[in-house]
Amino acid sequence: MPSSIERIQRLQKLIWVLIYLGLFALIIGVVIRGAAPVAGPLLIVTGLIAAVAGVVLIYVRSRMEVEKSPP
């Protein structure tokens, strides 16, 4: 079982991947919205969901406690 520090590090990586890829998808969706009437809005919604999920995970991370190892 991974330690709490390893879980937190994995969670932090996931947070930033969700935020950055979500914002990237959002921007691409806005750019191609006129040329691709289905794919553009789909990317916008998907990007927004991913970015919001990343922000929610920041809150979850702030509530996690780190287990201290004995000296």
How confident is the model at residue 56, as a pLDDT? Answer: 97
pTM: 0.84
Closest CA to 7 of 53, 62, 66: 66
The C-alpha atoms of residue 50 and residue 28 are separated, in whole angstroms, by 14
How confident is the model at residue 51, as a pLDDT? Answer: 98
How confident is the model at residue 65, as a pLDDT? Answer: 81
Tens digit of each residue's pLDDT (9 = 90 or more) over 15-68: 999 999 999 999 999 999 999 999 999 999 999 999 999 999 999 999 988 776
One-letter amino acid of 18 = L
Contact 64, 15 (CB under 8 A): no
How confident is the model at residue 14, as a pLDDT? Answer: 97
